[in-house]
Structure 1
Amino acid sequence: MQHDEFIGHVQDRARLASRGEAERAARATLQTLAERLPSGLARNLAGQLPIEIGDQLETAATGEAAGAVRFGEQEFFDRVAERAGTDRAGGGRLARAVCAVTCEAVDQPLRERTHDVLPEDMRELFPVGAP
């Protein structure tokens, strides 16, 4: 999947008015995801995403808080919302859209590994058997 296609899918799924909003949603979600995942797994995800998107995840995965923070779904949505400039419901909508597109962009074994390391309440974001 190419960068423009990834962002277009995020824009469509999250019902966003502009590509800029979709870029912001992707950045907010992937930065937050990188905080939650082990850094090696986040780097593996980055490697299967379009370069512009993967670079954001890679940078966040090597940051100070990468993989060091434990939180569940509601905190995830709150962090995405704060970074994207929206409320919790908006953060949830954006995070779900970005994670769904990410699932489409990476292979099944990587989706499964991501699913397995997330807490139970976040596993819906990376379902096993997703397309």
Structure 2
Amino acid sequence: MNYDTFVDQVAQRTRTSSEQAVALTRATLETLAERLTGGEVLDLAAQLPKPLQLVLKPSPRTESAERFGAAEFVARVAVRADVTEPAARDAARAVFVTLREAISGGEFDDVVVQLPRDFRDMVEPAMAPGATLRRS
């Protein structure tokens, strides 16, 4: 999936402008990169378009993941994107579904396995049968 398609999908799913979708995508991916191990960030970045690779800032030197739950994840996305926490949670769901469509299933599973159970409501829409066919 190319960058424009990724952003368009997030914009459609969040019912926002392309500009807002870029901000929401950046905020979600930056926060996700903090939550994943460095090696996983590198693997994820390798499957994304260049502008999104730069957002992840992959570094093999940053091997350890920060340990925080879904509430902190949403709070960080909200601050970064300058939106409310409910909007940040919806955006994270939209980005996860779009991410699932953009990368291999095995890679998406590798990302999800590093997230604690309280991320379930944000990740499950991407795991649902037919998620790659769903359009909001």
The normalised TM-score by structure 1 is 0.87
The CA deviation at 1:62 is 2.8
Decide which structure has greater helix share. 1
Within 5 A, what are the aligned runs for 1:23-42? Answer: 23-42=22-41
Tell me, in whole angstroms, the C-alpha distance in 2 between the residues paired with 1:49 and 1:113. Answer: 15
Letter in structure 2 aligned against 1:83: R
Say whether the 8 Å CA contact 1:34–1:67 is kept in structure 2.
Answer: no
Asked if residue 53 in structure 1 is aligned to residue 52 in structure 2, the reply is yes
Say whether the 8 Å CA contact 1:48–1:106 is kept in structure 2.
Answer: yes
Task: For CA contacts below 8 A with separation 6 or more, give which structure has more relative contact order.
Answer: 2
The CA deviation at 1:127 is 2.9
The normalised TM-score by structure 2 is 0.84
The CA deviation at 1:112 is 1.1
Structure 1 runs of 4+ aligned residues shifted over 2 Å read 61-68, 126-131
**Which residue in 2 is equivalent to 1:96?**
93
Tell me, in whole angstroms, the C-alpha distance in 2 between the residues paired with 1:21 and 1:4. Answer: 13
Letter in structure 2 aligned against 1:28: A
Say whether the 8 Å CA contact 2:74–2:88 is kept in structure 1.
Answer: yes
Secondary structure (helix, strand or coil) at the match of 2:41 reads helix
Asked if residue 75 in structure 1 is aligned to residue 72 in structure 2, the reply is yes
Tell me, in whole angstroms, the C-alpha distance in 2 between the residues paired with 1:25 and 1:50. Answer: 16
Gaps of 5+ in 1: none
Tell me, in whole angstroms, the C-alpha distance in 1 between the residues paired with 2:27 and 2:61. Answer: 16
Asked if residue 114 in structure 1 is aligned to residue 111 in structure 2, the reply is yes
Say whether the 8 Å CA contact 1:116–1:123 is kept in structure 2.
Answer: no
Say whether the 8 Å CA contact 1:37–1:67 is kept in structure 2.
Answer: yes
Question: How many residues were matched structurally?
Answer: 128
Tell me, in whole angstroms, the C-alpha distance in 1 between the residues paired with 2:60 and 2:44. Answer: 16
**Which residue in 2 is equivalent to 1:10?**
10
Tell me, in whole angstroms, the C-alpha distance in 2 between the residues paired with 1:65 and 1:85. Answer: 26
Gaps of 5+ in 2: none
Tell me, in whole angstroms, the C-alpha distance in 2 between the residues paired with 1:33 and 1:122. Answer: 11
